[in-house]
Chains A and B, each alone.
Chain A
């Protein structure tokens, strides 16, 4: 179990990051990619022990990342207002729209998707830690 999870975890994490980054091109996006990434972090804590999982990402770091994901999402929306568009406006606010079909192509969508991915992954890890550690 330990050897398998040690072997498989990097591939799961790379796949999760791939799903997050290609959210505007292929099926998937911030939510699914974040769920895959968070599941890989839980897998470490489950197959070794809680200390090994906490060494990867501690409870406090996960909570900070959770709030930071939301803040990043909100700030990206506010940047669009500053540059003269509606909230979360994309092309109207002057985000660069590249060639369709390339990785860096959809302006603000990529940034927003990355923040959603961070938020979902850390939320899943925080949920798991909360249940395991119990109420305080």
Chain B
């Protein structure tokens, strides 16, 4: 059961990563990147690294998304 969950999470991670690279709208790319970070945090937890998971959830999902959205609001949204 846990392995099935892990495989699903990893598949979703790959889909998110490819989507971030290919999507044209920058705001959608940022949101996809934040969901990438959230899934990455869950995977770190599954790999029994709660320390890294905490940092990834706070920085990779929260603060990095905020900073990138702030940067988009200063520049253009389309690529």
Contacts and interface: CB of A to CB of B under 8 A. Distances in A.
Chains A and B form a bound pair: yes
A86 B56 CA distance: 33
**Interface residue SS majority, chain A:** helix
B24 to A, nearest CB: 23
B51 A46 contact: no
- Please tell me the size bucket of the interface on A: 10 to 19
Interface in A75-97: none
Nearest to A32: B54
Interface residues of B, number: 13
Contacts of B67: 127-128, 131
Contacts, number: 40
A64 B20 CA distance: 37
A20 to B, nearest CB: 12
B70 A132 contact: yes
A134 B70 CA distance: 10
Interface in A11-40: 19, 27-29, 31-32, 35-36, 38-39
Interface string B62-79: 110011001100100000
Interface of A: 19, 27-29, 31-32, 35-36, 38-39, 42, 46, 124, 127-128, 131-132, 134
